[in-house]
Amino acid sequence: MDPAPEMKRTRFPSMNFEAEILTAPHDNSELYMIPSMRSLTAEEYVEAFNSFLAHSTEHQCMDKFNMEEMPNIMAGLGNGKSTVNVLGVGSGTGEQDLKMIRILQAAHPGVLIDNEIIEPNPQHVAAYKELVNQAPDLQNVSFIWHQLTSSEYEQKVKEEGIQKKFDFIHMIQMLYRVEDIPNTIKFYHSCLDHHGKLLIIILSDSSGWASLWKKYRHCLPSTDSGHYITSSGITDVLERLGVEYRVYEFPSGWDITECFIEGDPAGGCMMDFLTGTKNFLGTAPLGLRRQLQEALCQPECSSKKDGRIIFSNNLSMIVVESWSRDQLQKPS
| Residues that constitute the known binding site | 58, 313
Evaluated on CA atoms 72, 78, 80, 82, the torsion sign reads: negative
As a whole number of angstroms, the distance between CA 178 and CA 17 comes to 18
As a whole number of angstroms, the distance between CA 61 and CA 315 comes to 8
Whether residue 52 contacts residue 203, with contact meaning beta carbons closer than 8 Å, is answered with no
- DSSP assignment string, 116-163: EEE---HHHHHHHHHHHHT-SS-TTEEEEEE-S-HHHHHHHHHHHT--
Please enumerate, by residue number, every residue annotated as part of a binding site for substrate.
Answer: 58, 313
Residue 134 CB-density burial (10 A; 0-12 exposed, 13-18 middle, 19+ buried): exposed
- DSSP assignment string, 236-290: HHHHHHTEEEEEEEE--EEE-GGGGSTT-HHHHHHHHHHHTBTTHHHHS-HHHHH
